[in-house]
Amino acid sequence: MRLVLASRNQHKLREIVAILDGLDVELLSVSEFPNVPEVVEDGSSFEENAAKKAREVAAATGLPALADDTGLEVDALDGAPGVRSARYAGEPPDYGRNNEKLVRELSGVGADGRTARFRCVVALSTPEGRVSTVEGTTVGRILDSPRGDQGFGYDPLFLPDGFERTYAEMSPREKNACSHRGKAVRAARGLVEELLR
C-alpha cells in the first residue's frame, strides 16, 4: 500500500517516517505530488486541521493520507500558542521568533507557573473521505532560556515531565520514544494496519 504523508515540513516527515519504520507501506511525501495545493489550516482545533489536511490530500492524490496538527499549550497563556503554534510570532512561520516571543510572554512567571503540554492529533483519511483520528500528549514545562540544538520548533524550551533534558537535548530516537508526536503516530499505526487488512 502507498500512503501519503500530508506535510511539507521536513522535520515532521523525518520523525513520522522513523516512528512508522517497519510498517509494510510505501511512504510518500505530499511534495512528490506538485499539483496538490497547500491546505489552509483554518480549523479551531488540532483535530479539525489534521482531518482537513488528510482528507484534502487523500482526495487530491487518490491515496490514503496521514496528516498531523501539533501545538504547544501553555497554561499561563490560557492555552496559547495552541493551534497558532507555528505562526505564533506572525508570518512567515519562524522557529526562532516563536521561541523569543514565548520567552518574552512568560517573563516574570516562575517555574511552577510554566506548565505546558504538547498535543498532536494524527488523522488518516481514505480517498473517499473516511477519516479517523488519534491523539498524543506530553506534559512538561517551559524553560526561561533554550537548551540543546536537536529537534525543531519549541523543542529547546520544552522540558517533559520526568526528564532532565529538553526535547532539543535528546537524540531523535529518545524524543520519539516520549514525544506527543511519537505517541500519536504509534497509535496511528493501528489505523494504517486496519487499512492493510
Q: Report, as an integer, the average pLDDT of 95-105.
A: 97
pLDDT digits (tens, 9 = 90+) for 133-173: 999 999 999 999 999 999 899 999 999 999 999 999 999 99
Give residue-wise pLDDT tens across range 28-78: 999 999 999 999 999 999 999 999 999 999 999 999 999 999 999 999 999
Q: Cell 487518490, residue? A: 62
Higher-confidence residue of 8 and 174: namely 174
- Model confidence at 11, in pLDDT bands (50, 70, 90)? confident
Alpha helix (H) ranges present in the chain?
10-19, 46-61, 95-105, 172-178, 180-196
CA–CA gap between residue 117 and residue 102 (Å, rounded)? 14
Number of neighbouring beta carbons within 10 Å of residue 70: 23
Q: Is it the case that residue 196 has pLDDT exceeding 80? A: no
**CATH code of the domain in which 143 resides:** 3.90.950.10
Closest alpha carbon to 145 in 111, 116, 176, 117? 111
Mean pLDDT of 20-35: 91
Give the residue numbers spanning the domain of 96: 2-196
Number of domains in the chain: 1
Residue positions annotated with a catalytic role? 69
Residue type, 4: V
In the chain, what is the straight-line distance between the N-terminal and C-terminal CA atoms, in Å?
A: 11
The structure's pTM equals: 0.93
